[in-house]
Amino acid sequence: MTPESHQPSDAFSFLGLCDLARLRGEGKVTAREVVQSCLDRIDLLNGRSKAFISLDREGALAQAKACDQSSSGETSPLRGLPYGVKDLFDVAGQVTTAGSKVFADRIADEDAESVARLRRAGGICLGKLNLHEFAYGATGENQLYGTPVNAYDHTRLAGGSSSGSAAAVAFGLIPAALGTDTGGSVRAPAALNGLVGLKPTLGLISLRGVVPYSWSLDHAGCITRSAADAALLLSALAGHDPLDPASADVEPQDYACALTPDGSLEGVTLGVPRAFYFERCDPEILAASEAVLAHLERRGARLRDVELPSMERARSVSLTIQMPEALSYHMPHLEARGELYSEEFRAGLALGQCILAEHYLRARRMLTRYRQQVDRVFEEVDALLTPATPVIAPLLGSIKVGTGKDAEPVGNAITRYTTFFNMTGHPAMTLPSGLHGSGLPMGVQLVARHFDEALLFRLASCIEGERAFAVPPPSL
């Protein structure tokens, strides 16, 4: 990625999709100006952020030019707006590396279905974003392409596995990004970088054309600056894909209409799972989460303590499903070019070989049980609220966080509150709850019934309407 000769413009660096759509609609900015501004900023900051693996500079500028020349009659608010994709999503004619040497020459024949939908809506994909190799890890560390850093403190992790997606949006390189979420890989890095991370209901966004990690747990999602931006993206992405066997055949909701920042929450019952989800957590993150709960209660929501299934074996259940499924996908590549995998990922795949079919089937049955148990909780409440993560962004190179008996592997800590809802498939969103005393972002997580993303947006817009929870852009 060679820097351009002219000075970069910061005019659009921290504007969201909705802001840019408004400016485009008012004729105050062209698609080419927005795209060029993003490319300039990527040239300036990608070396520091490690967000992008590759850029489609010429293709993006050509699409922007075509968009500007045929702007009359445009209907989609995404038309002419830039975004990036985690390098698991196929983009026709481009390499999908999955963050690994193994796929260094894997050129996609066609767009992933999600990319194709955004292309039809007029969105412009600027390039491919960094990640933990094959999405195997919550820290986002990548020895081949560099480790994306936190926008608020460059000595700390951006989080993963959608690390480049979070870093790109947080550094102001692009207004939005697509990612995948198998245990929190969209929601956790979004929370650690002061952004909105959305994992919709399992199957609401097609995964066709996305390199899989775990078929049973993978969700496609997005990282944006606001709930309104996420609603805009989801409106284009959601919907049945008959060529994806895991795609849900449901009618998407009107997500934008659910955004009611000044509306009442009368009639909404919010469940608070204090056991596990409010334990072993940074005190400031807990206090911020309690403040969000109090704010929602003042707006009319009824709070109710609830009990979720025991989390004692939940992470083991998740891993017992993840590793055999990952091994199943990667076995042909292991045989052909196994030496190109990192030691870390090869060790994980070796673990998959040690898991018996009996153990895998027991874990799959536990998924059904977990989903049924959480569905019963949703008979009593409309949504759940938890902290997004129990920790602020850990330092680069951290092995564990916490001290004494509370010390745990850093990846486990980052995703401790998010992993379970990949197993149940319920929609979940993380969003800012304020700045920690360290100057790093904190967040909360909202969870709703299957396919009730509209309620997530209703609650999120109410939280965003309170200035005390806002997180300012990083000072770069």
86 is catalytic: yes
76 is catalytic: no
185 is catalytic: yes
Of 37, 161, 214, 461, catalytic = 161
Of 37, 54, 185, 226, catalytic = 185
Contact status, residue 450 vs residue 201, Cβ threshold 8 Å: yes
Closest by Cα among 47, 208, 180 to 115: 208
Alpha carbons 199 and 176: distance in angstroms, whole number: 14
Of 50, 86, 128, 199, catalytic = 86
Q: Report, as residue numbers or ranges, the catalytic residues.
A: 86, 161, 185
